[in-house]
Amino acid sequence: MVDRSTPPTGPTRPPLSGASLTLRLTGIALVVAALAGAFAYVNGTFDPQRLTPKKLINVLETNNGVHPGFRRNHAKGVCVIGHFESTAQARSYSSAQVFSEAQTPVVGRFALPAGNPYAPDSAVPIRSMALRFTQANGQQWRTGMNSMPVFPVGTPEAFYQLQQAQSPLPATGKPDPAAVPAFFGSHPETAPFLAWIKTAKPSASYATETYNSVNAFYLVNASGQRQAVRWNMVPVAQDATGATAPEGSDFLEKDLVQRLSAGPLRWQLMITLANPGDPVNDASKAWPDGRKVLNAGTLVLERTQPQLNGECRDINYDPLVLPSGIEGSDDPLLAARSAGYASSYLRRTSEVSQLPAAKQEAQQ
């Protein structure tokens, strides 16, 4: 949503005419369509017995409603612009240019989970940060992180079943109250997430959160050596313990604009190295304490932009868009996220003719 009373803190692109906007997003959609087809094939789109990206996005729409022009998950958010300042600590582990250059430009997005762009900010305790690093050689690193330490489940199928448990029943229009408890009771791997969620409270600011990759990846150096890792963006904000969220629907974006008006916000990119035997294909399992941690550099965010016409609007934060020197693990959730994001992207860009109405509604 856009707060009319708050002017943008940085330059935004001039409004596009209906025709030019349509052409622009249609062109992007065609490129992503080819990528989506490749991911969909890998993930079983042509096998009706397997979970497909279409089924996954359909159940999200069933649970959240369809909001034309918005993402099917993490629908409510705000664009951010900044850069990344690297240290030397990750350079021996990865040949990625982002770890060797002094600065790399970043376009990011803060958001809430779920697919309702009008949900109150206090509705859920989870916040997300998505980033696109654009290296000098043209390669990109895209990552989507969440404030939760682990994912509820370890497979796309279990995630789909969890969404089904929350779907409204045709007879009542409401979910079966016994379905979600039954799901958790039959999935013991959800215990770490449930332990966290019981004490988690909605924070008052995006700036005070730690954001976690949750999934594992590999850093690859110039010699081809691979090291399994997870990473965290840890806030430098002095009040990083986080205050209780205030009442109201849209305090997170307002807080972010106010903080950035006083100066840049910073996070440290902390990369945790796995030990042999640590699970690298199951995001529901945390790694034990005591692992080596690298301080790979500082994320510096300088200004915000509205998500409906800011630079992050047209970015699909696919976690498998990676530069040389970073590789995805065999965590099945990564492939599912990639395919699901592509499916969501195609749907929202195909709704470009409805964006003006969506924009007017968001600004009211």
83 is catalytic: no
Q: Is 90 among the domain residues? A: no
Contact 274, 238 (CB under 8 A): no
Q: Is 256 helix (H, G, I), strand (E, B) or coil?
A: helix
Name the catalytic one among 67, 74, 83, 187: 74
Instruction: Report percent pLDDT > 70 for the chain.
Output: 80
Q: Is residue 145 within 8 Å of 129, Cβ to Cβ?
A: yes
**Total count of domains within the chain:** 1
Residues 338-356: tens digit of each pLDDT: 888 887 877 777 776 665 4
Average pLDDT value for residue range 67-86: 89
Residue 45 belongs to a domain: no
Indicate the pTM of the whole model: 0.81
Determine the Cα–Cα distance for residues 92 and 248; give it in Å rounded to an integer.
47
Does a structural domain hold residue 41? no
Mean pLDDT of 309-333: 95
What's the gap between Cα 19 and its chain centre?
30
Does the residue 176 lie in any domain?
yes
- Average confidence (pLDDT) over 10-36: 37
Tell me, yes or no, whether 220 lies in a domain: no
Higher pLDDT, 50 or 30: 50
**Is position 187 within any domain?**
yes
Residue range of the domain that includes 343: 51-82+101-212+245-267+303-322+332-348
178: exposed, middle or buried (Cβ count in 10 Å: 0-12, 13-18, 19+): exposed
- 37 pLDDT more than 60: no
Within a domain: 34: no
pLDDT digits (tens, 9 = 90+) for 184-207: 999 999 999 999 999 998 889 999
Q: How confident is the model at residue 272, as a pLDDT?
A: 98
223 inside domain: no
Give the whole-angstrom CA distance, residue 295 versus residue 267: 11
User: pLDDT digit string (tens) for 155-176?
Assistant: 999 999 999 999 999 999 999 9
Cβ(97)–Cβ(133) below 8 Å:
no
- Is residue 150 within 8 Å of 192, Cβ to Cβ? yes
The per-residue pLDDT for range 233-273, each reduced to its tens digit, is 999 976 756 566 666 678 999 999 999 999 999 999 999 99
Judge whether residue 182 has pLDDT over 80: yes
**How does the average pLDDT of the chain come out, rounded?**
83
Q: CATH number of the domain that 124 lies in?
A: 2.40.180.10
